Structure 1
Amino acid sequence: MNESFSKLKFAYAFAILIIMAIVGAVLSLIVEDYIILISVLGILYILLLIILLNAFHKYIKPIQVASKTMGELLKGNYRARVHHPFNGSIGDLSRQINELARNLSELSINEQMQADQLKTVIDNTESGLVLLDEKGYIHLVNRKFLSMFGGQQRDYVGYLYYDVMRQTAIHRTVQETFLYEKNVKKSITLDKDTRHMYIEVVGAPIFTERKLLKGAVLAFYDITDFKNVEVMRKDFVANVSHELKTPITSITGFAETLLDEGLSNPEINRQFTEIIYNESNRLQVLINDLLTLSKLEQEGFTLSYSDIHLITIVNEVLPAFKQKIAEKDISVDTSISDSIHFIADQEKLKQILINLLANAINYTPEQGKIKIQAVESEDDVHIMISDTGIGIPQDVTPRIFERFFRVDKARSRDTGGTGLGLAIVKHISELHGGHVTVESELNKGSTFTVVLPKNLDKVK
């Protein structure tokens, strides 16, 4: 267009020269005085120059400005505008160009906002996402995918999937998605931070409006928690089965022996009857603990809160252990201020103390020591039960609150433990909005600390 403007300028100049030549020739025939002739020609030149400049500013310059503005718009600069006020058709053209620029600017802003929103959604989704074209090249990876597999976007985008993703299950997922043109699901396992991460991979084909395969989306779901829950469920069922089987087997065996012997030997009868009674009692304790855990884990379970004095609850619990304490000659020292009181479920707090005291007594040798103490802060109460028992090895301390976990399985069963006591303590503490911790040293003893909030508004 600029070339056209140059040609137009040249045409105007050439026309002026021709006109001036014609006028000069005519005047030379009419006017004999060269001074007058030159003056007339000068005036004509000035007039023609004024006409030319007016034509340039009125027609050529507006077209140049409009052309320059359109060029900026084509480059993507939607802020460009025609700022010169023009009249007539040129003015209408300028206004239309400005309107077009505003529309393009609004469209660009909306597209950028939508792109930013889409990127935000993709990056913050809980699933890893990978976009592939029909040739297998990666066009997009989101933040969750990078957190699972590591690396940066530049390590994946622009590469073939099988060059940057080494898992054969992913390769099969992509290949089957393209081959069968339907959703394909696979599972992979990643080793990350010294633990196993279980990933479910779903491949989904992408089609054009004409039903032609355009590419595929790979979605990566972290199912580690589900796997762990499944493992825990299986372990729980196996442990419950084993724990129930042991006393039931004893009861059945000794009952059959009594029947076979015909109840003829009173001493054996009494001995076997005591064993049956003890095993039945153990079975009952196990079932009660299972029911307690089940109740605590039920959705919607609520505690019955009241204002309680800790020393009163401790004094109500201790008499239940009087016989066992006397049999093992264990000294129990209580150091709790009368002023400590807080909001809690009284019966559940008793259960915490009973379970922790039972553990301390069972695992403390004869003539050992147990200390019950409590301190309070502005917001919390710390209840500590210490013993001089066998202690817990450091490597198993993190697992001590798991259901059915036992440091010494044989000793636990001998003492009548179910393996659920500490799990119940943990659940009750957390229901109160608190927590429980343990510090232990092998062959020197353990200290269990239960931290509970003092006020109801601190409870989760």
Structure 2
Amino acid sequence: MSFFSSKLIMRYALIILCIIILTGAIFSQFTDNLIVVIIVLLTEFIILMMMLHYVFDKYVKPIKKATDTLDELVRGNFRARMHHPVSGSMASLLMKINKLARSLSELSINEKIQAEQLTTVIENIQSGLILIDEKGYIHLVNKNFLSIFGKTDKDYIGYLYYDVLDNETLHKSIQQTFLYEENVKESIMVDNGFKQYFEIVGAPIFDERNMLKGAVLVLYDITELKKLETMRKDFVANVSHELKTPITSIRGFSETLLDEDLNDKETARHFLGIINEESKRLQTLIQDLLTLSKLEKDESHILLSTIDLSDIINEVIPVLCQHAKQKDITLHIKSENNLKFSADLARVKQVLINLLENAINYTPKGGEVTLLSEEQEEFIHIMVKDTGIGIPNDALSRVFERFYRVDKARSRNTGGTGLGLAIVKHIVELHRGKIEIESEVNVGSTFHIYFPNQ
């Protein structure tokens, strides 16, 4: 009977032995027949052993199994179950232990699922996150935090924050969060080969007794917001500058005309011509600004209709040929016939005019400008290629910004407003198309426009 513990076996064996010896002594007083005494003692031994087996099987063994099952549950093995044929109160105990095990198992599974969900959320949020306890030890960093500051989580977790974090602004944010026990905000710039800007939001963590238990810091990437802010400031400055130039000219020459003798018709005509040109330039600038503003509105839309690209090219080219002829520039047209697709007629015409005018303006005398259009599987491809001054590689990503000029002096001399390519990009994007650019300084530039072939 291996299920008996050695101590219990010895204890009950001594009790049985004492009972048998006592019984034998009593029987020996009443009879001298040794055989009868032995039979009685054997019978008594068998009965006592049967009773003892029943007691152990009915009560001791289930309790021992219940104890072993509870030990497994304490050790975290929630799949442990108690299986033993019992009845009465022991059966109730067995059912409750198994019910407890099932509840703990479900609780463990739910806790594991919630922990995995929380880990997934923390690891996949687009912000850096760091968790610090009340003593200053780091307990958690997510992968975005590691991508910002480098290293691995083993280099942070379990260490004091001021021993492993080099950024003074982070130190200040953590200290203020603990000191004031309220949310704090700071901004930092991190240079990992390129500048990134982050807003740090520190929040204290309290327990149910409102005692400070730690702090969590979240780093939001505001690089794009910084870029937009810079672009806004540049836009205001550029608009002011672009408006100032023609207005100054108009005012200056008009004042001169007022002060001078108007009988000098040649001078007056010359000044009035300048005022007229500056007025046209001012009108063009304002018109481009209004067009761009309309395109950038969220509610802006395009009037789609089935258009024939060949018809638009035949309408645009005669106007531009005169400009190209004045600069002795050869204009090549390579267009497939019957290129029909769904688009806004006026907007597509504006794209062609802006690109071709740019190409002619920035191509030296004797150069070439090529317009190519073709049908592809998913797109209508329009290419405008020139043999002009080209665009440096570091400027390719900025040429579609408002008022951005590669060669500022030359751009103004051509009469451009600096908004043409920005307008082109917005029109193409409204059509859900794409625009690409290739360029080499002093060799030329090539613009590729792709309109969806619907």
Same fold (TM > 0.5)? yes
Q: What residue in structure 2 maps to residue 381 of structure 1? A: 380
Q: What residue in structure 1 maps to residue 358 of structure 2? A: 359
Q: What residue in structure 2 maps to residue 294 of structure 1? A: 293
Letter in 2 for 1:50: M
1:336-384 CA distances to partner (integer Å, 9 max, x unpaired)?
Answer: 1212111111100000010011112212233332221112111111111
- The 8 Å contact of residues 310 and 336 in structure 2, kept in 1 or not, is answered as yes
Q: What residue in structure 2 maps to residue 251 of structure 1? A: 250
1:105-133 CA distances to partner (integer Å, 9 max, x unpaired)?
Answer: 22222222222222222223233222111
Structure 1, 276-285 or 27-36: larger mean CA deviation: 27-36
Q: What residue in structure 2 maps to residue 397 of structure 1? A: 396
- Structure 1: unaligned runs, 5 residues or longer: 456-460
- The 8 Å contact of residues 380 and 454 in structure 1, kept in 2 or not, is answered as yes
Q: What residue in structure 1 maps to residue 183 of structure 2? A: 183
Distance 1:395 1:127 in 2: 29
Letter in 1 for 2:212: L
- The 8 Å contact of residues 381 and 452 in structure 1, kept in 2 or not, is answered as yes
- Structure 2: unaligned runs, 5 residues or longer: none
Letter in 1 for 2:403: F
Q: What residue in structure 1 maps to residue 311 of structure 2? A: 312
Cα distance change of structure 1 residues 418 and 84 upon mapping to structure 2, 3 Å threshold: same
Structure 1 residue runs of 4+, over 3 Å off?
Answer: 3-11
Cα distance change of structure 1 residues 93 and 26 upon mapping to structure 2, 3 Å threshold: same
Cα shift at 1:5 = 5.9
Distance 2:272 2:388 in 1: 32
Distance 1:119 1:444 in 2: 53
Cα shift at 1:86 = 0.7
Distance 1:44 1:195 in 2: 95
Letter in 2 for 1:136: G
Cα distance change of structure 1 residues 153 and 108 upon mapping to structure 2, 3 Å threshold: same
Distance 1:99 1:398 in 2: 66
Cα shift at 1:254 = 0.9
Cα distance change of structure 1 residues 110 and 446 upon mapping to structure 2, 3 Å threshold: closer
Cα shift at 1:142 = 2.2
Distance 1:173 1:391 in 2: 48
Q: What residue in structure 2 maps to residue 54 of structure 1? A: 54
Cα shift at 1:394 = 3.2
Q: What residue in structure 1 maps to residue 410 of structure 2? A: 411
Q: What residue in structure 1 maps to residue 452 of structure 2? A: 453
Distance 2:258 2:378 in 1: 61
Q: What residue in structure 2 maps to residue 75 of structure 1? A: 75
Distance 1:198 1:397 in 2: 23
Q: What residue in structure 1 maps to residue 194 of structure 2? A: 195
- The 8 Å contact of residues 321 and 331 in structure 2, kept in 1 or not, is answered as no
1:15-39 CA distances to partner (integer Å, 9 max, x unpaired)?
Answer: 2111100111122223323233333
Q: SS of the counterpart of 1:275?
A: helix
Letter in 1 for 2:195: H
User: Normalising to structure 2: TM-score of the pair?
Assistant: 0.95
Cα shift at 1:218 = 1.1
May I ask how many residue pairs the two structures share in their alignment? 453
RMSD over aligned CA atoms reads 1.9
Cα shift at 1:261 = 0.7
Distance 2:167 2:394 in 1: 33
Q: What residue in structure 2 maps to residue 63 of structure 1? A: 63
Letter in 2 for 1:137: Y
Letter in 2 for 1:101: A
- The 8 Å contact of residues 69 and 82 in structure 1, kept in 2 or not, is answered as yes
Cα distance change of structure 1 residues 9 and 93 upon mapping to structure 2, 3 Å threshold: farther
Cα shift at 1:276 = 0.6
Letter in 2 for 1:78: F
1:96 equivalent to 2:96? Answer yes
Structure 1, 42-51 or 405-414: larger mean CA deviation: 42-51
Correspondence 1:199-210 to 2 at 5 A: 199-210=198-209
Q: What residue in structure 2 maps to residue 441 of structure 1? A: 440
Q: What residue in structure 2 maps to residue 458 of structure 1? A: none
User: Normalising to structure 1: TM-score of the pair?
Assistant: 0.94
Q: What residue in structure 2 maps to residue 16 of structure 1? A: 16
Q: SS of the counterpart of 2:316?
A: helix
Cα distance change of structure 1 residues 395 and 186 upon mapping to structure 2, 3 Å threshold: closer
- The 8 Å contact of residues 5 and 60 in structure 1, kept in 2 or not, is answered as no
Cα distance change of structure 1 residues 392 and 127 upon mapping to structure 2, 3 Å threshold: closer
- The 8 Å contact of residues 156 and 164 in structure 2, kept in 1 or not, is answered as yes
Q: SS of the counterpart of 1:187?
A: strand
Correspondence 1:105-144 to 2 at 5 A: 105-144=105-144
- The 8 Å contact of residues 127 and 220 in structure 2, kept in 1 or not, is answered as yes
Q: SS of the counterpart of 1:399?
A: coil
Structure 1, 165-174 or 95-104: larger mean CA deviation: 95-104
Distance 1:399 1:203 in 2: 35
Cα shift at 1:195 = 1.2
Cα distance change of structure 1 residues 442 and 11 upon mapping to structure 2, 3 Å threshold: closer
- The 8 Å contact of residues 131 and 216 in structure 1, kept in 2 or not, is answered as yes
Distance 2:373 2:437 in 1: 15
1:383-431 CA distances to partner (integer Å, 9 max, x unpaired)?
Answer: 1112222222333233222221112111111110111111111111111
Cα distance change of structure 1 residues 111 and 394 upon mapping to structure 2, 3 Å threshold: closer
Q: SS of the counterpart of 1:82?
A: coil
Letter in 2 for 1:232: M
Distance 1:63 1:314 in 2: 95
Distance 2:392 2:205 in 1: 55
Cα shift at 1:300 = 1.6
1:155-212 CA distances to partner (integer Å, 9 max, x unpaired)?
Answer: 21111111111111111111112112222211111012x2111111121112223322
- The 8 Å contact of residues 312 and 349 in structure 2, kept in 1 or not, is answered as yes
Paired-residue identity, %:
57
Letter in 1 for 2:317: L
Q: SS of the counterpart of 1:422?
A: helix
Letter in 1 for 2:359: A
Letter in 1 for 2:213: K
- The 8 Å contact of residues 205 and 216 in structure 2, kept in 1 or not, is answered as yes
Structure 1, 202-211 or 262-271: larger mean CA deviation: 202-211
